[in-house]
Amino acid sequence: MPIRVLLDRVLLERRMSLTELADRVGVTIANLSILKTGKARAVRFSTLAALCRELDCQPGDILHYEPGPADTGFEDDEET
């Protein structure tokens, strides 16, 4: 997947735990953990907005695009 999630880095910079972020955003720790480890296949804009609000950051601070040789486009157009 050419999208990397940099939530660990942002949490470290903000000196915030995953548990604290989950409480502030209203998302389960399990779901944030899936996002943090890069195993999430999608994220709602409302969740991304809440993360940015609580972390005082931009979406690009959390998500990073890294194209690679296998990056041929969308795997599943239904998720866009």
Q: Which domains does the chain have, with CATH numbers?
A: 3-69 (1.10.260.40)
The rounded mean pLDDT for the chain is 89
- Confidence class for position 69, pLDDT limits 50, 70, 90: confident
User: Cα–Cα distance between 53 and 3 in angstroms, integer?
Assistant: 21
- Confidence class for position 75, pLDDT limits 50, 70, 90: low
| DSSP string for residues in 48-76 | HHHHHHHHT--HHHHEEE---TT--S-S-
Residue 3: what are its φ and ψ, rounded to 5°? -100, 120
Q: What is the pTM of this model?
A: 0.81
- Confidence class for position 71, pLDDT limits 50, 70, 90: low
